[in-house]
Amino acid sequence: MLESNNPRRQSWVEIPEDSDFPIQNLPFGILSRNGGIKKVGVAIGNYAVDLSALYDFGYLDPHEFSHDHFQNDYLNDLLSLGKEKVRALRERISFLLSTDSNELKNDTKLNQILFKASELDMHLPVKIGDYTDFYSSEDHARNVGKMFRDPENALLPNWKHIPVGYHGRSSSIIPSGVAIHRPKGQTIPKDSDQPIFGPSKLLDFELEMAFITYPGKELGDSISTSEAEDYIFGMVIMNDWSARDIQKWEYVPLGPFLAKNFASSISTWIVTMDALEPFQTSGPVQDPEVLSYLKYEGNHHYDIHLDVMIKPENAEPTIVSQSNYKHMYWNMAQQLAHHTVNGCNIHGGDMMASGTISGPTPDSFGSMLEISWQGTKSITLSDGTERKFIQDKDTVIMKGYCHNEDVRIGFGELSTKVLPSK
């Protein structure tokens, strides 16, 4: 066990009992103060550590790191150092913030290193070169198949043989707190064979998790399932917005386009795979047996509880879904192995999303498409209004956390407000 994951380790920083960010977490992100320079930070409790100040004041090894690794718009340069150096950095930060050391606690310059999170602005944590969206929840794929295809043959023939995915748009991935405008596009009215143009009427959220990579191998080489975790830095919550009516008209034959590329929202703190290690769990039995390059040993699924809330303007949020990442059929090791088996190269800061995460029961469905069952049902929110899909001025909030008898590891909040079309 990594010492940074020791559940008995305590911090001299005051941490609320229900915090997402105990000393066993220490997620990485990009922060700034008062519109100033962007810097790499680590969250702990209701505070964040400015790693550029920590470096400048001599707490981090200048032979291993440079100032530019920490005063930076993105985490990519830090990720280029690879898993072992980033792991050692997290271990060092954990020690400095623990009751095992008073060096940082007693430093007169502490107020230049440790800041209240409420004083900070958070930014997109990585410069995302490439983004892949998978389709790896069997319950979600089966629900969609029942709605749009043969209910008796809901899964397509390839679904249990490969982690299905497609290449998405990275330029429109945005951090929590950035509002989106309702997308516009072509839709096909019922009982018509001619499309019309206008704002989407069936705007939907998709509850997903995404992982961020370290630099991979050279073009032509592949990453095996046994190697995959050496190339995965950490995870964020993702809301992969969808315009269902636009998607229905455009997706044949090449898949989603305008229905998906207008925005995908992510939480701003990246929780490392090291912090999530205590929450690894077994996955479903894969039947039929997968091909050899997709076989794996050990536990590569993760027990991450996920909540989705809809908040109308000037009203309290209502929980509309409670799911779990452990429901995924295909795990991250298999996704990365499949992604690279043809020699596709992976860069540091690439992002790969899970696809909609749905569980086996209606209260665990990960999209309004499923919750409303293609608009045939409605849900009632806290202000008494009803929803089948997302309306203008609604805010969709997602939260995720792991917990056991010893510790809780969370991702913070992903919050996005929907504004009317421009």
Catalytic residues: 140
Q: Is 102 exposed, middle or buried (0-12, 13-18, 19+ CB in 10 A)?
A: exposed
Rg value, the chain, Cα: 22
How far is residue 34's CA from residue 14's CA, in Å, rounded to a whole number?
Answer: 24
How far is residue 302's CA from residue 282's CA, in Å, rounded to a whole number?
Answer: 8
Cα dihedral value 153, 332, 402, 289, nearest 10? 50
How far is residue 202's CA from residue 247's CA, in Å, rounded to a whole number?
Answer: 10
Count Cα atoms within 13 angstroms, Cβ side, for 284.
18
| DSSP string covering 20-78 | S--TTT--EEEEEETT---EEEEEETTEEEEHHHHHHTT-S-TTT--HHHHSSSSSHHH
SS3 418: strand
Residue from 369, 270, 293 nearest 29 by CA = 270
How far is residue 387's CA from residue 380's CA, in Å, rounded to a whole number?
Answer: 7
Q: What angle do CA 183, 189, 194 make, to 5 degrees?
A: 100
Structural element, H or E, at residue 408: strand 408-419
How far is residue 258's CA from residue 262's CA, in Å, rounded to a whole number?
Answer: 7
Structural element, H or E, at residue 209: strand 207-213
Q: Is 386 exposed, middle or buried (0-12, 13-18, 19+ CB in 10 A)?
A: exposed
How far is residue 209's CA from residue 238's CA, in Å, rounded to a whole number?
Answer: 5
Count, residues in the chain = 422
Give Cβ neighbours of residue 282 (< 8 Å, ≥ 6 apart).
299, 301
Q: Which long-range contacts (CB under 8 A, 24 or more apart) does 50-54 make?
A: 50/112, 50/113, 50/114, 50/115, 51/93, 53/109, 53/112, 53/113, 54/93, 54/96, 54/104, 54/113
